[in-house]
Structure formats: structure tokens, C-alpha cells
Chain A
């Protein structure tokens, strides 16, 4: 199972192994990692599952859909080139070693 690291807003790192096909949002919630609200339950409606992917990974992730791109305009913390919605990214073998940073604010 690919290992993914979540880095909290205050810098704490947590590495977890996630089953292929799990979303990064579910991976965090199922492992009790704070910092993702996911109010809409993964339906691309709320933008409270915002994460920043580690620089090295920006180009390696599948591209944002138009819906994700538009919704990222609504994040509570600033949007950057590294911004993604964690409910829209599914874990795959290619993502082994992925590091994502959680934002200060989600709501």
C-alpha cells in the first residue's frame, strides 16, 4: 500500500499507508488526521478538504478537473499552485511517497 505523509499546519508529520483507490480525504479521516473538514463528504461542493501538495509532486498528480479548479477559488486559506482538493485525488501506486501539507484554515 502506498505511503502518504500529511504535514499539519504546525509542522507535525504523519505517515500512513493507504489502499489504492482511497481518496486523500478519506485517508486522512480514516487515520484520525486533523485539518480536513470535508463538509460535503467528498462531493466537490465545499472546498473544506483543501491541501497543498509538496512541490515535487505538483506536476506528478493527475490534472485538476474544471470543477476542482473552480472550487479551489473558494478555499478558506490562500490558493497556490500547489493547492488541491483531497477528495478529488485517489491513491495509486504512482503516488508512493506523496507528501501533502494541510492549510491553516478550512472554513
Chain B
């Protein structure tokens, strides 16, 4: 299994608070990997480090065998051109039309003619099923359309790594299924490596080849989907069965919690 991304001994902080605690795992090339874990477990934080937006306290992150933790901001620009990102919440620029949002990375990073970029943008919008919506503004889009527009923008520079942070959060099941189908097709046609942060079980079963699971800043699982399904780790079993983990407190501890005496 060829590695697209390798994370070694990653420790990260916000201020003095440790978020990721010595995290080590790798992500296979040409597959879709899901990053799982409860709210606040550090999934988005992990993503921000992998795309080089944040520098870790400790550890290394290899993207296509290059350690990005030691790259300068200028060197990082080149690496980032080959990465497409859909941030949690899509993050389109509201003052620009959908087409201009998609064109922006291309005009910023290439010397292509406007007429060529126009065609590229139309191709990307068609790719995500938004043909004909290029002239709309983000505020005129539904939640699902916003995600699609965000994916079109993430695909603008033909990345070989695509990161999607909770693409189907807040969408109805049919719209979410449509996005899953798009993710599957993107991998198949473009042979790219896709990393998806998600909680949606139905989605995981459709899109994922490989899974990484975080709990409170620590890795609790990495492996194929088959390995995930066969795991007898209680956290994984309860996640796959949609049960809350058993973290009920002993009566004495509960008393301490509500009286504040610890």
C-alpha cells in the first residue's frame, strides 16, 4: 500500500492546551480515507496541520514523502496547489459568483487565459452537477449546492489530494447520498487520494476504503473498512452501532462532578 500521507508523532496545541497527543498513522494513495471521531476529538485540527495551515508542536507530516513541517511558507504554496480542501461549512466568498469562486484559485496560481479558465470552471461545475448555476451567488444556493460548489473550487487546480471536512453534515439523506456518489466518482475517474472527515455512517460504508479514528486527540484505530467492521474495540463497536460510549460515572465520582469537589 503506497502512502500519500504519513503523520509521525504529531503533538499539537492551541495555546497551552494539548489537542493531538502523539498521533501516528498513514493514509494510502488513491483511496478514500475517512477520519472518524467524536465532536472535539481533533479531526479538523488534524486536517489543518496536514494541509499546512498550522505548525505542530512536535512531529512530522510527510506529503508525498516530503516533510511539510519544515517547509517555508513559500515552499508550502507549491505543495498546497496539489491539495484541494472543502472546509467545514464550505467557506465560499459571498461577494463572488459561484463561477468566480471556482476560478479564483486558478487565476491566483496560473497564467492561463481568462477564456481557458472559463471553460475549466464550466467543466468543474459540470463535474459536481452545478452546470448552469455559475452565475448565482453563494447566498442563493441550498446547503447541498454550497458543498458541491466548494468541491468544484477544491478541484479547481486538479489536486491529487482532496480533503473534505464533514461534506454531508446538515444535509438531508438524499442530498448527502448524492454527495457520496460524487466522492466515489471523483476517486474513480481522477484516481486521487481523498480524505473525508465524517460522522455519517451510511456515507462511510459507501465512500470509505480506509479509516482513521480519533478519540480525545489519540488514535484508536487505523485500518481498512473490513478491519474496522471486524474490530471488537468497544469504542468502535458502539460507533458502528450508533450507541453512545459507556462513560457513566461511579456514584462517588458523580457526586464530585455536581458538587465541584474534586
The judgment on whether A and B are partners is: no
B interface residue numbers (CB < 8 A to A)? none
A interface residue numbers (CB < 8 A to B)? none
